[in-house]
Amino acid sequence: MGKRRVTSGMRPTGSMHLGNLHGALDNWVRLQNDYDCFFFIVDWHALTTPGGGDAVGYENVGKLRENAVEMAIDWVAAGLDPGKCAIFIQSHVKEVAELHLLFSMITPLGWLERNPTYKEMVLGYKIEHPSYGLLGYPTLQAADILAYKGEFVPVGKDQEAHVNMTRDLAQRFNSMFGREVFPITEVLLTEIPKVPGIDAADKKMSKSSGNYIALAHDEAATAERVRIMFTDPAKIRKNDTGHPDGCVVYAFHGFYNKAEQPLVRDECEKGLRGCVDCKKRLAERMNEALRPIRDRRRELAGNPDRIRDILLDGAGRARAAARATLDEVREAMNLPPEAGI
């Protein structure tokens, strides 16, 4: 029996930051060793919202291609191996669009209208006139997963509900057409660490907030971002008693300086460690840990043909899997075969 299949994707936001690295990519790198993985850049999904500023959307497509390439570079630099997993762009697999269309024929409108994520996105993006694409977002997401017969989707506990529509559609299709074409996708629950933004321990790192450190940043830029990280506002002088639990610098010591973190806490609470020295030590350890990723990133950025080949090869493997699925779907729905009646 072959490996079980995992699928997951990200919107093309460009260069990845440390939140993406620790929140998803590190886990994907581990999964590729034990599962048959399909990882894709969801450029069609990016067009369901308006965008604006640096964010890609249907009103702001200028950086869509550039962002997709930047993301692919970071994925491979972070450790995704194109020999172990398929890495590709969503829109390069047209079979997904066909499956999305066929799913839309059997998706009850009420499912989409009651979807809490749809309502959150309308409010979050302040969309006055939501598009059909945004409403049908979960149907396209289901097609993304089921075109490759994805058995698992890696998510955190708070994202478990996002897979429910895929499960419901798979069950509805199998029942309606009397064939077990699709697996009932399960979540692969992952312990996703909370990666704070550089501005506050209770804020999530994100590009839209500008509170991030990118994999594309060089060591000097990283050190500068660490220098302005939020610390305990009550600790003004070195010998003041500190409160590490509310300090972003202390949180990042947990990612990049785990062995010394207990010492960092002890010295901070006793007033033996100042914030300036604490930040310098963190910057050293962070840059040391990120150096191999950044070296690979520079090499890949200088070899665009390599990235193109990786994406084309991944899309070819994905299309083969999706084409086989669509053959089953068309047979189950009694659609005329493409070779003729």
What pLDDT digit, counting tens, does each position of 39-75 carry?
999 999 999 999 877 789 999 999 999 999 999 999 9
Residue carrying the six token digits 């950025």: 301
Q: Do domains 5-194+304-332 and 217-298 have the same CATH topology?
A: no
Q: Does position 289 have pLDDT exceeding 80, yes or no?
A: yes
- CATH number assigned to the domain covering 217-298: 1.10.240.10
pTM given for the model: 0.95
Fold that domain 5-194+304-332 belongs to in CATH: Rossmann fold (3.40.50)
**Token code pair at residue 34:** 């034990």
- Contact (CB, 8 A) for 40 and 89: yes
CA 234 to chain CA mean position, Å = 36
Q: Does position 341 have pLDDT exceeding 90, yes or no?
A: no
Q: Rg of the chain over CA atoms, in angstroms?
A: 22
- Contact (CB, 8 A) for 276 and 264: no
Pairing of strands 5-10, 200-204: unpaired
Torsion over CA: 240, 246, 247, 250 (sign): positive
- Contact (CB, 8 A) for 93 and 38: no
- The pLDDT confidence band at residue 124, using thresholds 50, 70 and 90, is confident
Position 30: which residue type? R
For the chain, the structural domain boundaries read 5-194+304-332, 217-298
At residue 168, the pLDDT reads: 96
